[in-house]
A = this chain, B = another copy of it.
Amino acid sequence: MLPGIGVFGTGDIVRALVPFLRAKGFRVEAVWGRTLEAAENVATELNIPFHTNKVDDVLLRKDVDLVFIICQPDLHAQIAVKALGIGKHVLCDRPAGLCQLEVLKMVHAAQYYPSLISVISHGLRFLPAFVQMKRHLEAGYVGAVNVCDVRVHCGSMIGSQFDWMCSHLMGGGILTMVGSHIIDAVSFVTGQRATRVHGMMRTFTKSTEKINGIRWIDSDDFCSFQMILDGGACVTATLNSHVAGGFVQEVVVCGSRGRLAVRGASLYGQTHTDEREQLLHDGSADDLTHLANRNDNSSARVNSLLPQPYLQGLFRLVGALKEAFATGDGEHGWLKEPVSSAATFEDGQYVQAVIDAVKLSSASRQWEQVTVASDENELNPLMTRLNLPNINMSSLDALSQAPTNRPQPAPTQRKTTATSESHLPWSFATKH
């Protein structure tokens, strides 16, 4: 049987996702919102039986076995770690967390409960165009990969009210929202990871007609970054949210023998022996959005925050989750194979490490090494340079120390090899 789902978040993406989850046969049991009002509104609109503004109230529900964390990024890590700690499967939206330290805690939680599904919503991995691109690259279509050339043009991501998307410190910005997908997709299709990066980030729109009070927008609305991959390829990516009028995404991978390009949801290719470009996969037939009852009048902002290729990818990831549970055998209740290509929390940590390095580079105006740490202490120098200690440490600590007055659930059946619990500040496991 498919697991019941608890959803964290009340944004437009949740409104698009819930109908699709139901179309796939999932039950959506509960929704969490930052305020009770927001939760109630979404619950009423989407006909969700339970709503709350308390994280634990969703996590502790027995009818919730899978949680979708689609809320502001500064809450991702704590909710994910807690959820895994009480035996819930987790799908977490990008960016995984605010900084690598947060994501490392998620990684440790996931490693600690390997029988649970823990994936990041990097849906491009499930978009047929990128799946085909990866296959063609593995088959040597372009030869040795030299250059990846990525361009994303979209309209403003800022809504009508000040929210986390306006705040660099809360995880907003085009690098975290779009760049995270790009960093993951490049590593997915090429099989290479960044070793050094350079970045230039800017916030040109600091206020809007509606956001012009005491709080200013400081999340990046433009980012150009470059990566050197461990196989020697160069990546250059331009993320530009100043181009109103639709979402344009092009990922071009060039090699010694030819090139491949994903434009939107379609794949094109040309080898040096071809006279012209070939359409290798037509993505126009991949549209699943009719299943989501998505309103064609979706606001321009939804289209910027979760444009078609990302939404299609997310839907396909959900489809893979359904496969994993629907065909699963007894022990874990799910099969690994359908979600084996999904982005793990480790992948999310790599992406976050690159994001952190791009941010550092934009400030230092130099190339920065990408350091993927296995131990939290390794990250101390990075945290100091990122200038984020207050955010991360205090919110992490506050949460880990906050006692809950709720009854502890019985631990679910799972195989774990507990070695250390020090990495899991928010985990119920530490209180068993």
Contacts and interface: CB of A to CB of B under 8 A. Distances in A.
A176 interface: no
Interface in A122-162: 146-147, 149, 151, 153
A200 B236 contact: yes
Interface in A180-218: 198, 200, 202, 204-205
A112 interface: no
B147 A240 contact: yes
A366 B276 CA distance: 38
B252 A243 contact: yes
A201 to B, nearest CB: 9
Interface in A199-256: 200, 202, 204-205, 222, 224, 226, 234, 236, 238, 240, 242-245, 252, 254-256
18 contacts: A147-B222, A147-B240, A149-B240, A198-B198, A200-B234, A222-B234, A224-B234, A236-B238, A238-B238, A240-B252, A240-B254, A243-B252, A244-B258, A244-B259, A244-B272, A245-B274, A245-B277, A366-B366
Given A200-B234, A245-B270, 8 more contacts: A146-B204, A146-B242, A147-B204, A149-B238, A224-B234, A242-B255, A244-B272, A366-B366
Interface of A: 146-147, 149, 151, 153, 198, 200, 202, 204-205, 222, 224, 226, 234, 236, 238, 240, 242-245, 252, 254-256, 258-259, 270, 272, 274, 276-277, 365-367
